[in-house]
Amino acid sequence: MQVEGETLTIGGWHVAEDISEWIEIVAIAVITIGVLTAFVVGARTIRTLGVSAAVEQIKQTVGRGLLLGLDLLIAARGASHRASFERQLNRCRSRCTRAQRSWSAPLAPSRRLT
């Protein structure tokens, strides 16, 4: 499906690049929210269990947020690289097709030197 006057094409690499940018934004938000949540949870843990338990709780919560955010960033990079790869592959195919056509064109008769 293609919308006239716009570059949006379903199945096109423009869509994949846009989606990967949004996934990157979500990943950054997940990491940020994970870190903020870790400190809120840590502050609550300090009151009930003490500082050492709070530090461990903060480490675990930050780690979970970082892992989830980094997984999303890797997924976004994969989508972006795949779209880029497909675009380059299509260019290569068109170049190879042109080269193949030029090779299969009949050659002019050669002149013999006698």
Question: Poorest-confidence range of 2-11, 23-32, 49-58?
Answer: 2-11
Does residue 37 contact residue 57 with C-beta atoms inside 8 Å? no
What type of residue sits at position 11?
G
In the block, which residue shows the tokens 């300090």? 46
Q: Count structural domains, the chain.
A: 1
Q: What is the residue range of 58's domain?
A: 13-90
In a domain, 1, yes or no: no
Residue 69 has pLDDT above 60, yes or no: yes
Burial class (CB in 10 A: 0-12, 13-18, 19+), 26: middle
Type and span of the H or E element at 85: helix 51-104
The pair phi, psi for residue 4, each rounded to 5°, is -70, 140
Q: Among residues of the chain, what percentage have pLDDT more than 70?
A: 61
pLDDT digits (tens, 9 = 90+) for 31-67: 999 999 999 999 999 999 999 999 999 999 999 999 9
In a domain, 106, yes or no: no
In a domain, 75, yes or no: yes
pLDDT mean across residues, the chain:
77
pLDDT digits (tens, 9 = 90+) for 100-109: 666 665 555 5
Average pLDDT on 22-31 reads 91
In a domain, 19, yes or no: yes
In a domain, 23, yes or no: yes
Q: Tell which residue, 27, 25, 3, has the closest CA to residue 15.
A: 3
In a domain, 82, yes or no: yes
The residues pairing with 9 across neighbouring beta strands, listed in sequence order, are: 2
Confidence of residue 18 (pLDDT cuts 50, 70, 90): confident
In a domain, 69, yes or no: yes
In a domain, 36, yes or no: yes
